[in-house]
Amino acid sequence: MTAHLRERPKIALRPDPGPCPVIETGRLILRPHKLSDADAIAQSLGDYQISRMLARVPMPYHRQDALDWLTRQGSGLIAGWTLAITTGDDVHIGCVGIELMHGQWHLGYWLNRYYWNRGYASEAAHAAIERFFRRMPGTVLHSGVFADNAGSLKLQKKLGFEITGCSQVYALARNGMVSHIETRITAADLRKP
């Protein structure tokens, strides 16, 4: 008697960049977040000058919001990386993340306002993107900025992002729709800031 075995259908695994790395740059260390980062995150995102430029950040932003976000990030249920941007002495100054949303990889970032205009955001974003493309070389990475965020658009253009369109996005902190400039980059387009 011969058993006729059906071949199981192969499940296509979606590409994944692997575990969240630790990345060292000339001035920064990008590392996975810790629950102890909650106070620094709450202080940064409690600043309306920062939260108003981010779609998914409520205002006011409290320590419990940061703890809830950190718990989700550490759950393993979100595909991608969320890296704390820290100085050499482990002071949390911002975040850069690459997340799979709606079947596409997206870059997001923010920086505590007191660290603006020093090149930290472009240094951190470049390092994260460069590592991501080493692990996922054929991927297109999407991002974007609110139309009134000229500094962030300048940063993205400097890195090699190209504008692909414009849309309207709901911003929690602003409690309304905001014009959003959509951008994208490939490994071949990435430039060092």
> Is 150 a domain residue?
no
> Is 145 a domain residue?
no
> Is 46 a domain residue?
yes
Mean pLDDT of the chain: 89
> Is 161 a domain residue?
no
Instruction: Check residue 7 and give its pLDDT.
Output: 53
- Selected residue with higher pLDDT from 7 and 138: 138
Closest of 126, 57, 68, 62 to residue 98, by C-alpha: 126
> How many domains is the chain built from?
1
Torsions phi, psi for 147 (to 5 deg): -60, -25
pLDDT greater than 60 at residue 4: no
Write out pLDDT tens, residues 72-83. 887 776 778 999
Write out pLDDT tens, residues 91-142. 999 999 999 988 899 999 999 999 999 999 999 999 999 999 999 989 999 9
Give me the CATH number covering residue 66: 3.40.630.30
Instruction: Check residue 1 and give its pLDDT.
Output: 45
- Here the tokens at position 23 are 């990345």
> Is 103 a domain residue?
yes
Kindly indicate the confidence band of residue 13, based on its pLDDT and cuts at 50, 70 and 90. very low
What range defines the domain where residue 73 resides? 23-138
- As a whole number, mean pLDDT of residues 21-38 equals 94
> Is 68 a domain residue?
yes
- Here the tokens at position 21 are 């790395």
98 DSSP 8-state letter: E
- Here the tokens at position 103 are 């079947």
Closest of 76, 79, 92 to residue 34, by C-alpha: 92
* Residue at token pair 């849309």: 167
> Is 65 a domain residue?
yes
> Is 73 a domain residue?
yes
